[in-house]
Structure 1
Amino acid sequence: MLRRSRTVVPAALLAAGLWPLAAHATNGYFSHGYGVRSEAVAGVGIALPQDGLTGATNPAGTAFLASRLDLGLNLFRPSRGASIEGNGAGLDGRYDGNGRKLFAIPEIGYVRPLDDSLSLGLAVYGNGGMNTQYDHSPFAAFGVAGRSGVNLEQLFISPSVAWRATPTHTFGAALNLAYQRFSADGLSPFTTASASPAHVSDRGTDTSTGAGLRLGWIWQPDAQWRLGATWSSRISGRFDKYKGLFADGGSFDIPANWGLGVAFEPAAGWTLAADYQVIEYGGVKAVANPLSRLAAGQPLGSDDGPGFGWRDVKVVKLGLLHQWSPALTLRAGLSHATQAVPAGETFFNILAPGVVQNHLTAGFSWKTGTRSEWSAFYARAFKKTVRGEGSIPAGFGGGEADVHLKEDILGASWSWNF
């Protein structure tokens, strides 16, 4: 069986590497969870390790799992768009950003205990992204003849190790290897406001690689309770082809994030769990700096220049599990996130309307044998509209831009216990 795993895992990693990346924007542009089982409980996982993707949330969780392989696939369908009113330059109208409607997102998890105190893990997953494709450009009145939009994609490969230091305390660490891709089309109206006009739009796809660290801890004082904590460092990134769009000459870091979690088993077969997560978008200049810096004389792409005006996102996640029978486990969850996009920043965020706040999820796992198991989930991110307030700069005609987003996600995975 070990020989078989050594063949299956590299093959699965190769398949993931060849798979086109996809946008998956739920909590800002982070995924709401990692691993089908976690995604079925609204992304709860800091103190609730369930499958081989647990290292993407809390690497300490791999110590609580037996040897296993998890192969999953999510189908992600966002509905995003914008409307503009009161604009003196002729931008008024309703705009559909759904030029591309469906995205496929693979994920892979692998765990192998070495002994009673040490376990290794590997998680391969998409950490989010953002895609908009306006076939009818919101900037057509400025002379854009084709489509407008952006595409941000992120892939993570995270090897991890977990150490059970005492019977109650477990620590973990993961190396986050990140690969990003970005492209932008139809943004020529912004070139006159850039420090590098030739590097704003229609430059094709640019890529960036970086590395960071994720640390985790789980405390299990008894059989009923687990408490956990996790922290992930910021990861440096840069898109040189778009150094006229992003602050500091194309810098585009992946934000740091951290969280706390608890899991409680009130009765046999029942588990209640909750996570609190903070995503520090405010620490990434390209994402957090306000567009109003244009009026202060700072062009796009300049040092500490304008951005999308995003704030930190704080997420509360609640999950419920019930083992209905030895073969069937049921899951459900809900989450609420604070709003990343302020009302005064909606104009630029026509390109990146990551505004959904509330998720409702449900799923199950079904054992088909002593070693194999299938899991599935559905998530609904309810429609959210952010209405602009003083959102369009006078230099672009003034008025207001409203942005909206809703999402449906359907996922399934196959698990093999070695």
Structure 2
Amino acid sequence: MRPHTAGRLSTVLLMAAWAAVLAPLPVFATNGMYLVSYGAEATGRAGANLAVSDRTLALNANPAGIAQVQGRHYSMNVSLLAPELSAGNAVNDNLEAEDRLFPMPAFGHIRSRPDSKWTWGIGLVGQGGMGATFKNANTFFGTRDETFTEVRFATLTPTVAYALTEDMSIGASLNLGWADASFRFYPQTSFFNTADPANSFFGVAMQRAGGPQVNLRLGWLWQADPRLSVGAIYQTEPQSTFEDGAMTVNFAAHPQLGRKVKYDAEMDGFTFAAQAGVGLAWRP
């Protein structure tokens, strides 16, 4: 990056940066199941990786950032997701989910030449997902049963970045992913309401409905000043498919069926969220 002299532009940008940081923003709990960061460095920065994307796994944060890295670089990382979950309802005062560890591996490789404005990379990343298991739960039908959920999502991510100037770059990542989902909802419970059959309940279990997930991530990075960098990304909503699952419905209490019945299963309307973000980095 070439040196700049401090001046009005830096002052204006610094004021804008502080205004953006201090402005109140809404926070939503269902924006997606992605991790806040990928790689030890980004995690150490608490996920502040849109304007400081100077490592191999930047291809999964701001793909424009890999233009800052010269030569060949490899990176491997494993994160462990260890959620602590609890729930309660009218028949369960407090249920603690079983402790589970979810490994999130990531591998990245980038390559550039000193005489080229192009940088290339590829990553294999465990993007996210999670699950919860609540056992020995009281049901509303006089039984004790369990609930279980699990979603897994990983991508192969070819990436390219181009240096528009010494201070500005753009990049794009194509996420070629696979995801699957499983759940169990009181699978051993079967209740037939003779007074009102429409309000009967039959436990269900579904295994491994999955399919490809494809989307595009675009990035922009600008070193506005030796102390200030600005980054922005946009990621499209994946084209999602969840098919070829196996579902079992517990009709044991049904007067005509009287047994568990197996079906082929698919899920509609379930996907991962689109993303957009702007990041600012200030180095005193």
Asked if Structure 1 and Structure 2 have the same fold, meaning a TM-score greater than 0.5 normalized by the shorter chain, the answer is yes
Q: Within the alignment, does 1:176 sit opposite 2:175 as a pair? A: yes
Partner of 2:100: 101
The 8 Å contact of residues 51 and 109 in structure 1, kept in 2 or not, is answered as: no
| Counterpart check, 1:75 vs 2:70 | no
1:223 to 221, 226, 237: 226
RMSD: 3.1
Distance 1:117 1:144, change over 3 A: farther
Q: Which runs of 5 or more residues in structure 2 are unaligned? A: 1-28, 193-197, 248-265
Please state if 1:34 is matched with 2:38.
yes
Q: CA separation in 2, counterparts of 1:106 and 1:157?
A: 12
CA distance in 2, matches of 1:159, 1:187: 41
Kindly provide the CA deviation profile for residues 214-266 of structure 1, in whole angstroms up to 9, marking residues without a partner as x: 000011133222111100000022334489xxxx9523221100100112221
CA pair 165-152 structure 1, distance change in 2 beyond 3 A: same
Check the 8 A contact 1:149/1:185 in 2, yes or no: yes
For residues 224 and 144 of structure 1, the distance between their equivalents in structure 2, rounded to whole angstroms, comes to 62
Letter in 1 for 2:127: N
Q: Which amino acid aligns with 2:213?
A: G
Deviation at 1:142, TM superposition (A): 2.8
> Which residue identity is paired with 1:33?
S
Q: Is the CA contact (8 Å cut-off) linking 1:122 and 1:159 kept in structure 2?
A: yes
**Residue 113 of structure 1 pairs with residue 112 of structure 2:** yes
Is contact 2:141-2:191 (8 Å) kept? no
Alpha-carbon contact 2:32-2:272 (below 8 Å) kept = no
Q: Judging by fraction of residues, say which structure has more strand.
A: 2
Q: 5 Å matches for 1:15-414?
A: 29-66=33-70, 67-84=72-89, 87=90, 91-98=91-98, 100-114=99-113, 115-137=115-137, 140-142=139-141, 145-187=144-186, 201-240=204-243, 241=245, 250-266=268-284
Assess if the C-alpha contact under 8 Å between 1:26 and 1:32 holds in 2. no
Amino acid at match of 2:224: P
Q: Secondary structure at the match of 2:58?
A: helix
Distance 1:185 1:149 in 2: 5
**8 A Cα contact 2:185 2:204, kept in partner:** yes
Shift of 1:165: 1.4
SS at match of 1:39: helix
SS at match of 1:135: strand
Q: What is the SS of the residue equivalent to 2:122? A: strand
Q: Partner letter of residue 176 of structure 1?
A: N
Any runs of at least 4 consecutive aligned residues in structure 1 with deviations exceeding 4 A, and if so which?
Answer: 25-28, 187-192
How far apart are residue 164 of structure 1 and its match?
Answer: 0.4
Question: Which residue identity lines up with residue 228 of structure 2 in the other structure?
Answer: W
1:399-418 deviation per Cα after TM superposition (whole angstroms, max 9, x unaligned): xxxxxxxxxxxxxxxxxxxx
What is the aligned partner in structure 1 of residue 16 from structure 2?
Answer: none
Identity %: 26
Secondary structure at the aligned position of 1:60 is classed as helix
The alpha-carbon deviation at position 62 of structure 1 amounts to: 0.4
1:122-164 deviation line (CA, Å, top 9, x unaligned): 22222221210012235x3336654211001111221100000
Give the 3 Å change call, closer, same or farther, for CA 235–27 of structure 1 in structure 2: closer
Contact in 2 for aligned 1:175/1:214 (Cα 8 Å): yes
TM-score, normalised via structure 1 length: 0.50
Distance in 2 between the 1:144 and 1:106 partners? 39
C-alpha distance in 1 between matches for 2:66 and 2:96? 42
Shift of 1:77: 1.7
- Kindly indicate whether the alpha-carbon contact (under 8 Å) linking 1:171 and 1:216 is maintained by their aligned counterparts in 2: yes
- Please give the residue correspondences for 1:5-20 in structure 2 after superposition, counting only pairs within 5 Å: none
Gap runs ≥5 in structure 1: 1-24, 267-418
Contact 2:92 2:137 in 1 (8 A): no
Greater helix percent: which structure? 1
Q: How far did residue 104 of structure 1 move? A: 2.0
Distance 1:77-1:236 versus aligned 2 partners, 3 A rule: same
Structure 1 or 2, whichever has the larger Rg, is: 2
Distance (whole Å) between structure 2 residues aligned to residue 255 and residue 163 of structure 1: 27
- CA pair 156-48 structure 1, distance change in 2 beyond 3 A: same
For 1:48 and 1:259, the matched residues in 2 are separated by: 13
* Counterpart contact for 2:51–2:221, Cα < 8 Å: yes
CA distance 1:202–1:161, shift in 2 (3 Å)? same
